[in-house]
Structure 1
Amino acid sequence: MSEILNRLRDLFSPTRITTYLVDELLPDLVVAVVTLGTAWLVWKLLERGARAVLRRSELDETAQSFIQTVIRYLILTIGVVTALAQLGVDTASLLTSLGVVGLTIGFAARDTLSNVISGLFIFWDRPFVISDLVEIDGKYGRVQNITMRSTRVVTVDGRMLAIPNSQIVNSVVASYTNFPNLRLDVPFTISVTEDIARAREIAIGVIADDARFLADPAPLVAVTELNDYNVTMELRVWLDDERSHVTMRFELRERLFEALRSAEVEMPFETFALVSEAA
């Protein structure tokens, strides 16, 4: 028993521990830290160079972000593996073990893995890009960033929505900015006794000589419903700047109402439905 205690004292003696730390571990630790620092510095230098090169390229912001993300993780992974090898870690066995562990974790975190794979599909298929105006499952906003796990959408009221990528690839995505122009449909009603041609002329006059609306395709006023108490019509116009569609819809609806009211066009609502609900 005393022999075991003597060996333990010798093994964990302050002198022996200090010698090990100073002569063996500290140099490797310093080199490992320097390796990590070098990897980080290399990434920062490459980041600046890559950003400058990508800005001069014809790639859009989404592709640039994806390339920079891949380069960052690649360089940092190489730095971490090199630093661990400097500390005496068998990186080959470690990577093999991580592969087995990663497979086990992958089964346990299927949703996260699904989001990562879906993120790759989004980068590849490109249903939208950064700064696009989109609607996903009824959620409308501007795409601020696309990560490997989620897509960040900023709504018109300033909220940031992190939508899982797996949800996006399995949903209908409506983009308001993927094509050069966007059509606005603004409905309004007139009395059944009103002149439809006159109402159409007033509606068209609202957007006449306004450069924000296109002449080709030409604006259209269509009759969409014939009700008991009113006629539902719709002003359909194409915008020159599709990104302004939210504010332009509000503005056009107000201008149309004021034009019809100024022309003393009767705009009744369906009173029968209200009476039925009250009864």
Structure 2
Amino acid sequence: MEPDMGEIGEVMQLLNASRLMAALVIVVLAIIASRLITSTLDRFGEGNARRRLTAKYAASISRFVIFIGAVAFILINVLDLSGETWIALSATIGLTVGFALKDTAASLLSGLLILIDRPFTVGDRISFDKYYGEVREIGLRTVRIATLDDNLVSIPTNKFLTDPVASANAGELDMMVQMDFFIAIDADFDLARDLAHEAAVTSKYVFLEKKVNLLVSDEMTPHFYATRIRVQCYVVDCRFERRLASDVTERIKTAWRKHGIRTPFVLEHQVRRADYVPPAEGRSSSPA
């Protein structure tokens, strides 16, 4: 089948300077609009903590809508394609992009699926692979996570369709924080548990609309045999996760020290100075 010279000529007309310039202007305007809307929604969210996650989700959706809208406007209005030319050009572009940018195309589709299915959203605390932190952005190609030590990690969106991901707060502002504390096996665990509960409920970072749980169990580790007191409470804002853990830990340690709650004995093969007996004269101090 020989190519239709009329269709080829029509396609070549699409590449003239004026139309390319108009397409470039639309792309620039789309980028500016996307950044302006995103920054506005971010400022709105930061000013109202309860609406922060909703504002960030709306910002992610707006970026996709602006991107798709700009591409559609360029193809339909600026390039002014006829039906046959549209089909021919779409097939050509589809084959070219499919082979050259298949990973990028998969990431774009994955980003859209994440926004629709919502396994997590912007502002969530997630665990993925070896990373844990707050989702800062669900972009067209990558998801950006800010770890607790303030590193920004970019992960291709298509990774989230095949690998498991855990969301700690699942779109909610509050989030459970779990902390483990150990006391000596013969210490007064009733008193220790009550002091730990008081320390948790009096923290300014705890979300008191949800119950504070304390679980007691005996634990054997390679280093000690002890009673574990596990504190489970909800932080009022997931961004205060570390502050809550630090505040509750300080309160519990202070209360236990004041009431004489002892920490576990370390199981090490060491001889205490008080138990040391010097060897008799003429004998070796090393075992036989």
Is 1:74 the counterpart of 2:66 in the alignment?
A: no
| Partner SS state of residue 65, structure 2 | helix
Please tell me whether the aligned partners of residues 190 and 230 of structure 1 are also in contact (alpha carbons under 8 angstroms). Answer: yes
Please tell me whether the aligned partners of residues 31 and 83 of structure 1 are also in contact (alpha carbons under 8 angstroms). Answer: no
Aligned residue for 1:135? 127
Please tell me whether the aligned partners of residues 205 and 244 of structure 2 are also in contact (alpha carbons under 8 angstroms). Answer: no
Stretch deviating more after TM superposition (217-226 or 72-81)? 72-81
**Aligned mate of 2:232, from 230, 233, 236:** 236
| Partner SS state of residue 154, structure 1 | strand
Size of the aligned set, in residue pairs, is 243
Aligned residue for 1:118? 110
Please tell me whether the aligned partners of residues 203 and 248 of structure 2 are also in contact (alpha carbons under 8 angstroms). Answer: no
Aligned residue for 2:248? 252
Please tell me whether the aligned partners of residues 174 and 237 of structure 2 are also in contact (alpha carbons under 8 angstroms). Answer: yes
Structure 1 residue 98 displacement after superposition? 5.0
Is 1:32 the counterpart of 2:24 in the alignment?
A: no
Between the aligned partners of 2:260 and 2:168, the Cα distance in structure 1 is 35
**Aligned mate of 1:159, from 133, 137, 151:** 151
| Partner SS state of residue 148, structure 2 | coil
Aligned residue for 1:7? none
**Aligned mate of 1:187, from 172, 180, 190:** 180
Is 1:65 the counterpart of 2:86 in the alignment?
A: no
Structure 1 residue 167 displacement after superposition? 1.2
Stretch deviating more after TM superposition (128-137 or 219-228)? 219-228
Structure with higher Rg: it is 1
Please tell me whether the aligned partners of residues 186 and 236 of structure 1 are also in contact (alpha carbons under 8 angstroms). Answer: yes
Between the aligned partners of 1:208 and 1:43, the Cα distance in structure 2 is 48
The alignment yields a C-alpha RMSD, in angstroms, of: 3.9
Is 1:149 the counterpart of 2:141 in the alignment?
A: yes
Q: Which amino acid in the other structure matches residue 154 of structure 1?
A: A
Between the aligned partners of 1:40 and 1:108, the Cα distance in structure 2 is 22
Q: Which amino acid in the other structure matches residue 32 of structure 1?
A: R
Between the aligned partners of 1:163 and 1:45, the Cα distance in structure 2 is 24
Aligned residue for 1:174? 166
| Partner SS state of residue 207, structure 1 | helix
Q: How high is the sequence identity, in percent, across the aligned residues?
A: 22
Aligned residue for 1:199? 192
**Aligned mate of 2:261, from 265, 268, 271:** 265
More helix per residue: 1
Change (3 A) 1:224 1:110: farther
| Partner SS state of residue 206, structure 2 | coil
TM-score of the pair, normalised by structure 1: 0.68
Q: What whole-Å deviation, never above 9, does each CA across 1:115-168 have from its counterpart, x for those lacking one?
A: 222112101111222232222223112222112221111222222111111211
Structure 1 residue 193 displacement after superposition? 1.8
Change (3 A) 1:225 1:62: same
Please tell me whether the aligned partners of residues 35 and 82 of structure 1 are also in contact (alpha carbons under 8 angstroms). Answer: no
| Partner SS state of residue 143, structure 1 | strand
Change (3 A) 1:219 1:63: closer
| Partner SS state of residue 115, structure 1 | helix
Gaps of 5+ in 2: 1-14, 45-50, 271-288
